[in-house]
Structures are given as structure tokens and as C-alpha cells.
Structure 1
Amino acid sequence: MTSSVCIWQAGSRTTWTSGMPSRSVFCPLSRRIGSRRSGMPLSSEREMPCCRSRGAGVPSGIPERSSTWNSKRRLISSRFLLKRVNSNRWFSSGNLADGPGTRGSMKTFSERLQDDAPILYDGGFGSQLFSRGVELTNSTLANESHPEAVTDIHLAYIASGSEAIGTNTFVASALHLDMAGKEGEEADEIARQAVRNARVAVEQSEKPVYVGGSMGPSPGAIEADAGDTTFGIPNEKVRDAHRRLSSALADEGVDFYMVETQFSANEAAIAVDEARKFGVPILVSMTYKCTKDRKTGEVIYKTDWGHSPASLLDALAGGEHSEGENLLPYVHGMGLNCGAETRDDDHTGMPYAIEGTGQLTRSLAERDLTGKTMVAYPNAGMPKLDKQMETVYSQSPEDMAGYLPDLMATGARFIGGCCGTGPEHIAAFRTVLDS
């Protein structure tokens, strides 16, 4: 079993063995993967193996879903079988009551993006699973093993004021799920189940909420050294993984794709090239860290691969990964989320989102590009260990919400939270937005 062990825990140094890059990088991805395991020293947590044996990662002591729940879920989610007609217009094919909160009364996501009013997204997901006692090697597995917990988290965000929620599919690509013992159609079905779980939450909430299909970076993109355009994994494997995931998400009728936490502008372009084939609106989000030009001292946000907001625009427009076609017309919105490790409070959490959105806005203006929705959902500041060796974040819900006017002044309109944020942050955001 040692030959197939990988060490991956969000918020810690990450090392892969057995053919994967051995370079350690900080990977604060608790939005979709998870956050700290309570009651466990961080040093011990980093060494927890994630085995590739089939079914690995399902914890003991937590009830599996019941057949009754499974049947009920199929019945409820069947009411949300969607038909796509006329330029991505989605309508419910179920016998839903007319009135506020029904799919039939909602604008399409593309139409909603044209409004000036901001769209409030959700927050961290993996940490919310942990708080409910669900700890897995890959958080996507919870869609099948603990669908009630997944739906409960979606409901908590909707109740807090989210107008859009993301599916629990951040690490649902074939490259990720293969490490958890799920392959082929089995992996695709987990992604479909994630959408059904989100739809159940929307149905139960009786509120008009959009469901976004989360598409995270490949394992190779997280680990690879800057400049390695193969992501540590052959490009075609990365492309196939994004193709399968975007297809599975479209099968269940997501309202938009959220291509998020991208380290490589090239991988983002590959993901967009595959996702565009399904006619679903696409949002793209990168994760940056603060760098400074040695000569001028200018602050420039770049990913661990050295890709800036301008690099994303160039990769999408250049056609290198799309047989020469400009991909920008297929992207409805773009921006940033998460945030790489930094000790500078001026470039983490909300200040990071404000500065990064401003840089992207300027890059768009320099290229005379308009009509793109600005996306921003940062971490809750910098994660630190308290005296109890628990991870805490530096920005409270009230702290983050206080920055919203400045964030919106940079042009951000699709707003939410990433690592360290929860329903309480979204509720604070909603209070400010409604005021």
C-alpha cells in the first residue's frame, strides 16, 4: 500500500509520492477539500495517508445513507430535470408551483449576470463537512456516503443569503477520484450526485438559487513547478478529466460552471475549452499571491506558476489550447478566490480580493474588454494555529463584510467566501448588501 500513498491535507504542506512530484507547496484549498481536523496537531495531520484502495477514506462510526433516503432523493431531484433550449435558457420540467422561488420564475444565469446587483455566492465547504463529523480523503466522496450532510451545508448557505451555491465537486475530476479508488463512470456518477444534492437543497429551501458546477485544478497543477506546462500530468489527461467533469455537471443541469482556484492560466484555458462545448455560462477564478517587481516595487499578483491576471486573459485569447479560437467570448465572468500563503495582512482575505480585482479590471481595460462579471471570493484572512492547535482565520465575518463596499467599488459583482468562511460570513455579507 505504501507505493500508492499520497499526503494531501488542505492548509498544510503537500507532498505526493509514487510518481507524483515531491516538491512541497502550500495549498490552502479548504473551500472544497477541507480544513483542519479538530483535536489533531497540524504536524500529525500532514502525515495522514490517503490510500488509493477502493472505498478508502470512508470513516467509521458515521452512518451510511439509507435506501429510504436514496429513494426520496431520486424522487425530489427528478423534479429538477431540466431542458436546455434557446441559448442556455433553463426551465423546470417538473410540476412546480408558480410564484417566487420556482425555477420557472427565475432569470437565466446569463440574464442575472447582466443585472448590476451583486450575486452572493457561498463559502467554504470542506470545513463544514468536518464540523459535521465527515472526514474523507476526498470531500467529493461525501456526495454518495453522506448526502444528507452535503445537502444540509447547501441549505445553511441558502438560509444565510446565498443566491448561488457551488456543487461539492472541487476535487471531482477523474484525476482526483482515481486516487480515492473511483474510476470512469463511477467517478462521473459522483459528480452527478453532487448536483442532485444541491438541487434537493434548493427545492427544500423554496428560494430562487442558482447551482454552479465547481471545477477545481488538477493535482498536477497544484504541485508542479512554475513553467511546467504539462501540469506534472500529460495535457490530454488533464483535458479528458475536465471534459468528463463538465459533461457530468451539464447532464444534471447546472446553471453555470465555476472553474475555480486555478494555479495555471493554461489549465484554466483547457477547462474553458472543454466546458464551452455544453453551452453553460462559465466563470473562471484564479488564486494568487502577492509579488513585487524588484525594479519598480510594483505589487503584482501571480499564482505559484507565475501567472498574473493578465496571463489569464492572454491564455484565453491566445488560442494555444483551443485550436486557435479565442475563448474570451465564452467566459461570462472572471476573477480570484482563495489566496496563497502570505504574511502580509494587506494582501490576504478581503484586501487581497480588492487589490486582485483591481489588477484584473485594469488588465481588461488595457485590452478594451468589457461585459465580464468580476468574481471575488477570498479566504477569511491568513490561517494560524491557536493555543489549542486549532486553525483560526484572521478576519471575522464582520471584518470581511466591512470591506464589501470597497470590493464592489473595484467592480466585483459575484461575491462569496473561500477557506475559513462559513454561513456566518455569508449572513454578514447579506446584511451589508441588503443595507
Structure 2
Amino acid sequence: MQNPIDALLAEKGVLLADGATGTNLFAMGLQSGEAPELWNETAPEKIEALHRGFIDAGADIILTNSFGGTRHRLKLHNAQDRVYELNRKAAEIARRVADRAGRRVIVAGSVGPTGELLQPLGALSYEDAVDAFAEQIEGLKAGGAEVAWIETMSAPDEIRAAAEAAIRVGLPYTYTGSFDTAGRTMMGLAPKDIHAVAEGLAEKPVAVGANCGVGAPDILAALLDMTDARPEATVIVKGNCGVPEFRGTEVHYSGTPEIMADYARLAVDSGARIIGGCCGTSFAHLAAMRAAIDGHAKAHRPTVEEIETRVGPMRNKPASQSGAATAGRRERRRARG
């Protein structure tokens, strides 16, 4: 399988991934409870504008509008029989915008969790999970996605199922966990253990890492654990733009472009090779991150204390201090961004 990420990393050293999908689509008129994936058909011009905004801000990697694109998520909107076409259209839109960029931009097919628990904790079998992910990834590949971008995961078995599906379909893959529960994923996976999740599969991941979570300081602490555990690995970090704050009925994120720029510098110093933003990250935030990465020479590896001094206090203890997390709780049905 061709690996576009390694080729671009060899050229640029550090890559900038895009920012939030959901937050920016809500600003464009998406309603709460509405499936963003349906906009690939009903409002493709808005999805094009999203991708174009991130490319104009300097993104090297854009993620398709397909986070909830499995049959299990789409059934909530009576669209479970349209998995292939909605994912294909998501990739086609991103591919079309990337091809007009005037420079190399990688189209990554966003693959989020099913929202179901795998056996024995839930009803979904591992084999059925692989089939569901493969159905989605087939559509993404047909539309022009170059890599399966498995993200916001909590359960190791679900990560493996999605990875196995990508291998079956013939796409290279990355995966990221969301370390939002006492420094671990909701199902108890610690950052240092992220690398081992796909061991034994026929193809290795292109990159692994973390996304979403509870803000820049916490995800940077997780990054330190991941790069310390396997310094040679290509590690992704795609953190939220601060923490959400309610202002009346609207949700705002506390991160400023200046904070996100410093987060990007700290991510480089902590060993990340692919850096982006998740919930709340706008075009302006991403442009500040682009400038920060371009203007920064890798410096000393920061401590957690230095991270807190520069980008704010952690909201959780690091995984190494949190003890074993309680598994078996039902995963939240999150929408990326």
C-alpha cells in the first residue's frame, strides 16, 4: 500500500493536519442532532468551503466529512443503507478541493467509532465491526481518500477492527485515541500503550496518536507518554482548542490563536510529527499553528510543568498517576470537532 504521509514527512519534517469539522459546520448552519455526513449530498458547497478554509490556512492533511459514516451511526438518521455513497461523496469533495490547492495536500478518510460496544461488553461482534468499517472505507477509497484516518477511539478492539478493515480494503491507516478519562481513554487505554494496539496485523499503521480529549495541556501530556514509549514512531496530536464554555446557549472554546500556536510549538518539541486541531479549532487558529510550526526550530523536550505554565493547567492527572480506569462504561456518542 502506498504511504503518502511518509513521503510528505520526508519533504517537510512536520505536517499540519486540519482543524474542527463539527464546530465549523455548526457555524455554517448545521443543527444539533443533524448528521454532518448528509451535507455531502445536500450542501456540498459548505463542505468544500470547510476544506478550502483549512487548506488556505496551511493544512497539509484534510479529513473527509465522514466521522460518523458507519452504518451504526448513520442508522440514527435512517441512512444506514447509504454508507458507501455518502463516504464516497465525502472523499470526492475533499479530493476536488485538495487537487486545486496548488501544492500537495493529503486527503485522509475520517473514520470515527461506531458508538457501539464490542462483545463481550456489548452486542457488536468484532467481525461485524470489521465489516462495518470496511463498508465505510470502501466508499472513502472510491472517492479518492489516500489513507484511512481512524480517530477519537476509546476501545483497543475497535481500533483493531477499523485497522483490519483498512488493510482489507487496501488503504494505509493511522489511528488516534481520545485520552479524556483520567489521562486514559474511556475504556482504559493509556497513551503509552497506543502503539501496541495494532501489533500482529498484516500491515502496520502509518502513524498513531491522540485527538480530541479535554484541551491542549492534557493532550500534550499524553503526547509525552507516547513519544517516550516509542521515540521512533510517527505520532499524531490533534487537540481541542481549549475547553468548551457556554455563553448563553452557544458553546465557545477557550483557546486563542496564540495559545494554539504555542501548543503547536510544544507539540513539535514533544516529538509529534503530525499536528492539528480538533473541537473548536477554526481557520484562524490553524493559520496561527502553521506560522508557529514554520517559524519554530525544535527545542528541548518540555516537562508537564512547563506545558501547564505555557498553555494552562491540566484538567486530569496524567495516566501514570491515575491508576487503572474503569472499563465497561458505555462510550459516548461523540461527533468530532
Structure-2 residue corresponding to 1:381: 242
Asked if the contact 2:212/2:239 (under 8 Å) is kept, the reply is: yes
Question: Residues of 1 paired with 2:15 and 2:250: CA distance?
Answer: 32
Distance across 2 between alignment mates of 1:111 and 1:279: 18
Percent identity between the two aligned chains: 28
User: Secondary structure, in 3 states, of the residue corresponding to 1:400?
Assistant: helix
Unaligned 5+ segments in structure 2 are 296-337
- Find the aligned partners of 1:389 and 1:424 in 2 and give their Cα distance: 23
Q: Which amino acid aligns with 1:351?
A: P
For residues 163-195 of structure 1, give each alpha carbon's deviation from its aligned partner in whole angstroms, at most 9, with x where no partner exists: 1100000001111112211133x2210100001
TM-align CA RMSD: 2.0
Aligned length, in residue pairs: 294
Structure 1 segments of 4 or more deviating over 6 A?
none
* Structure 1 residues 188-199: aligned runs within 5 Å: 188-199=84-95
* TM-fit CA distance, 1:232: 4.7
Deviations 1:290-318 (A, max 9, x none): 53xxxxxxxxx21111111244334322x
Partners of 1:353 and 1:407 within 8 A in 2: no
TM-score by length of 2: 0.81
1:354-369 → structure 2 map (5 Å cutoff): 354-364=220-230
Name the structure 2 match of 1:349.
Answer: 215
Larger Rg: 1
Instruction: Find the counterpart in structure 1 of residue 306 from structure 2.
Output: none
Question: 1:346-402: per-residue Cα shift (whole Å, max 9, x none)?
Answer: xx422122111111122225xxxx3x211000111211212x332121211211111
From 114, 118, 140, the equivalent of 1:218 is 114
- Secondary structure of 2:273's counterpart equals strand
Decide whether the 8 Å contact of 2:167 with 2:203 is kept in 1. Answer: no
Q: Determine if the alignment matches structure 1 residue 109 to structure 2 residue 23.
A: no
Structure that is richer in helix per residue: 2
Structure 1 residues 231 and 260 mapped into 2: Cα distance closer, same or farther (>3 Å)? farther
Q: Counterparts in 2 of 1:192-341, with a 5 A limit?
A: 192-221=88-117, 229-289=120-180, 291=182, 301-317=183-199, 326-327=200-201, 329-339=203-213
Q: Which TM-score applies when normalising by structure 1?
A: 0.64
Taking the TM superposition and a 5 Å limit, the aligned residue runs for 1:89-100 are none
Q: In structure 2, how many angstroms separate the alpha carbons of the residues matched to 1:409 and 1:232? A: 42
Aligned partner of 1:132 in structure 2 is 28
Question: Within 5 Å, which residues of 2 pair with 1:34-53?
Answer: none
Superposition deviation, residue 269 in structure 1: 0.9
The alignment status of 1:422 with 2:282, answered yes or no, reads: yes
SS at match of 1:198: helix
Q: Which runs of no fewer than 5 residues in structure 1 stay unpaired?
A: 1-86, 90-107, 292-300, 318-325, 340-347
Residue pair 1:113, 1:373 contacting (<8 A) in 2 also: no
CA pair 199-315 structure 1, distance change in 2 beyond 3 A: closer
Corresponding residue number in structure 1 for 2:41:
144
Q: Is 1:180–2:77 an aligned residue pair?
A: yes
Asked if the contact 2:167/2:202 (under 8 Å) is kept, the reply is no
Cα distance, 1:434–1:246 mapped onto 2, change above 3 Å: same
Whether contact under 8 Å (2:240, 2:278) holds in the other structure is yes
Alpha-carbon shift at residue 332 of structure 1 (Å): 1.1
Distance in 1 (alpha carbons) for counterparts of 2:9 and 2:16:
12
